[in-house]
């Protein structure tokens, strides 16, 4: 009887352990597991903002990676590209505050150009005319390409010739006036479309040190020599008379 009771008790214990092991995985897949996964993977709207847009999505252009300088064209006597507050775009032989430009990246290969003094953007209309725009639009986007002669060309990213697909380039004529991008001589093989970016380089602090050499002390001034005249010996012979005393 005792052996049969032991066998029955051991069988019951094994059944209870098996039931506990089966119930454990079900509890791990409950609500606590789901809450942990929600913390690891936040909602996309929370990462991009309430409306699903990025935090910097309000600006159509990024202020990062800016280059400040001027665009110099060697056509004629040489001109600096200028952006005026009244919307005009032309070239000036002498550098001026309106020729200080800011070139910033919009996307891969596409840049925007802003006048620092006028606070307006370089734009090209659908007729190929260069003008300054107060707002940054698609007309303000240009393809920036590097030429073999170390110059850059800037072609409109929005407009081109419909029939041939020829790109419209930013160009200046020999008198410093802006050419139309659709002009037959506004092509990348002409120097009127070549611009040399003169970027202002930040001055790096000079690493220098100063060595101080101690000054050598000047020797004291010598005392004036006093000439001592030695007594002169007489050259006359001295004669002595011998005196004899007797008694």
pLDDT tens for 141-176 read: 999 999 988 899 999 999 999 999 999 999 999 999
Look at residue 32 and tell me if it is in a domain.
Answer: no
pLDDT value of position 192: 95
pLDDT value of position 31: 41
pLDDT value of position 125: 95
**Separation CA 68–CA 97 (nearest Å):** 12
Closest of 161, 159, 144, 158 to residue 195, by C-alpha:
144
Radius of gyration of the chain (CA): 48
Is the CB of residue 127 less than 8 Å from the CB of residue 82?
Answer: no
**Separation CA 162–CA 177 (nearest Å):** 25
pLDDT value of position 246: 62
70: Cβ–Cβ under 8 A, 6 or more apart, which residues?
80, 81, 95, 99, 100, 101, 197, 198
pLDDT value of position 140: 96
Look at residue 43 and tell me if it is in a domain.
Answer: no
| Tally of domains in the chain | 1
Look at residue 222 and tell me if it is in a domain.
Answer: no
pLDDT in tens, the chain (247 residues): 556 666 666 767 777 766 666 655 444 444 444 333 333 333 333 333 333 333 334 444 455 578 999 999 999 999 999 999 999 999 999 999 999 999 999 999 999 999 999 999 999 999 999 999 999 999 999 999 999 888 999 999 999 999 999 999 999 999 999 999 999 889 999 999 999 999 876 666 566 667 777 777 778 888 877 776 766 666 777 676 766 666 5
**Separation CA 198–CA 70 (nearest Å):** 5
Residues in the chain: 247
pLDDT value of position 91: 96
pLDDT value of position 188: 92
Structural domain for 134, as ranges? 67-199
Look at residue 10 and tell me if it is in a domain.
Answer: no
Look at residue 48 and tell me if it is in a domain.
Answer: no
pLDDT value of position 21: 64
**CATH number for the domain including 83?**
2.80.10.50
């Amino acid at each position: 009887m005792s052996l049969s009771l032991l066998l029955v008790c051991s069988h019951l214990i094994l059944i209870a352990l098996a039931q506990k092991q089966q119930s454990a995985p079900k509890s791990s897949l409950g609500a606590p597991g789901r809450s942990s996964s929600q913390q690891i993977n936040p909602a996309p709207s929370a990462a991009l903002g309430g409306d699903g847009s990025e935090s910097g999505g309000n600006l159509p252009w990024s202020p990062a990676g800016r280059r400040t300088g001027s665009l110099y064209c060697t056509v004629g006597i040489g001109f600096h590209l200028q952006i005026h507050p009244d919307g005009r775009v032309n070239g000036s032989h002498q550098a001026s505050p309106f020729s200080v430009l800011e070139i910033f990246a919009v996307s891969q290969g596409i840049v925007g150009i802003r006048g620092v003094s006028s606070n307006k953007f370089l734009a090209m209309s659908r007729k190929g005319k260069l003008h300054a725009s107060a707002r940054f639009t698609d007309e303000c986007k240009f393809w920036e390409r590097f030429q073999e002669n170390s110059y850059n060309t800037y072609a409109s990213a929005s407009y081109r010739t419909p029939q041939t697909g020829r790109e419209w380039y930013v160009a200046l004529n020999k008198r410093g006036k802006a050419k139309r991008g659709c002009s037959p001589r506004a092509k990348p093989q002409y120097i009127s479309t070549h611009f040399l970016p003169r970027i202002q380089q930040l001055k790096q602090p000079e690493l220098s040190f100063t060595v101080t050499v101690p000054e050598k002390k000047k020797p004291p001034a010598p005392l004036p020599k006093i000439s001592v005249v030695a007594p002169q010996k007489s050259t006359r012979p001295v004669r002595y008379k011998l005196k004899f005393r007797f008694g």
